[in-house]
Amino acid sequence: MVALGGGSAIDAAKAMKYFATVVNKMTALPLIVLPTTSGTGSEVTNFSIITSAAKGVKYPLVTDDILPDVAILDAALVKSVPPHITADTGMDVLTHALEAYVSTNANEMADALAEKVVQLVFAHLPQAYQNGADLQAREQMHVASSMAGMAFNMTSLGLNHGIAHAAGAKLHIAHGRLNTVLLPAIIAYNSELTEEQTIPTNRAAVRYAHLAKLLGLSASNTRVGVKSLIREVKRLTQVLAMPMTLKGCGITDEQIEAVIAEIASDALVDRCTATNPRCPSETEVVSIIRQIS
């Protein structure tokens, strides 16, 4: 079986393999994947995201039975990806790395991958966005995508993806774009940042601040480091001409209020949320959604 395409095409092939070989007990076929976007990392993970259009829900299918046998990374396949998709998928790569790094399952091997991915994204995504024909930038982002996939395949993800899955199914916003809108609010939430000038000491905040140092940002203490990282994420978002709110994605207040309770409820039971460094309540998820509205 050969899957050629972006994350949705690869996830569909992985789901087909699961239902053919696990559910229906058919003879297993090797799964060879060639990603044509630099974003999901699906070519190296045991995740497949299945959407029920009828129910408006995204279901993560997670099993080693769907891990591809061969992944072929060819940057020539992504040279023609339009700028807005390059931006969406590239920010998904960054979100994967950041969530893997602060996951409750974080470990030294995943940390090494995630740290490198964060550096690669900030260094090369703007150029890949501005000049898609730049093969070096494309190669670096293509490699970063797979590295991020390897990282979160070991650690799983977090609340950013939990909300993105739930909201994406209801509001029909591109996955990477929704992750981007959420990212600053999630970093602040996980770090337990408050309006007071207190310095957070929780593990997630310390790790975010360490990433800020790796990027050469101001990080004289944990609070400064976290806020520097948030600013840098917002700066990159602006460089990529991406929206920073749900309204910027074309969603009205009325549309948000109609589904906000369902989004919060679905996000809490999403498999990704289980490994978030801070355990959220439904009220907190609703608050995060309102912050990004």
Residues 21-38: tens digit of each pLDDT = 988 888 888 999 999 999
pLDDT in tens, 85-130: 999 999 999 999 999 999 999 999 999 999 999 999 999 999 999 9
Average pLDDT over residues 206-219: 98
Q: Tokens 């950041």 sit at which residue?
A: 98
140: in domain: yes
1: in domain: no
pLDDT in tens, 134-191: 999 999 999 999 999 999 999 999 999 999 999 999 999 999 999 999 999 999 999 9
Burial class (CB in 10 A: 0-12, 13-18, 19+), 260: middle
pLDDT in tens, 53-85: 788 777 888 899 999 999 999 999 999 999 999
8 A C-beta contact, residue 105 and residue 153: no
Check pLDDT > 90 for residue 258.
yes
The token pair that represents 212 in the structure block: 């800020």
- Three-class SS state of 251: coil
7: in domain: no
CATH number of the domain that residue 125 is part of: 1.20.1090.10
pLDDT score of 104: 98
> Which amino acid belongs to residue 78?
V
Contacts 24+ apart (CB under 8 A), 281-286: 284/189, 285/159, 285/163, 286/260, 286/261
Check pLDDT > 80 for residue 289.
yes
Where residue 32 falls (left for φ over 0; alpha for ψ -120 to 50; beta otherwise) is beta
pLDDT score of 216: 98
What percentage of residues in the chain have a pLDDT greater than 90?
A: 88
pLDDT score of 39: 93
- Three-class SS state of 76: helix
253: in domain: yes
Average pLDDT over residues 213-242: 98
Overall size of the chain counted in residues: 293
55: in domain: no
When divided into structural domains, the chain yields a total of 1
C-alpha dist (Å) from residue 16 to 21, 26, 47, 78, 124: 8, 11, 13, 24, 34
pLDDT in tens, 263-282: 999 999 999 999 999 999 99
Average pLDDT over residues 1-16: 94
pLDDT band for 52, please (50, 70, 90 cuts).
confident
Check pLDDT > 80 for residue 197.
no
Q: Tokens 């396949």 sit at which residue?
A: 77
> In 76-99, which positions are buried (b, 16+ CB within 10 angstroms) versus exposed (e)?
ebbeebeeebbbbbbbbbbbbbbb
Domain membership of residue 261 as a residue range: 78-293
C-alpha dist (Å) from residue 264 to 103, 163, 283: 20, 7, 8
37: in domain: no
Check pLDDT > 80 for residue 196.
no
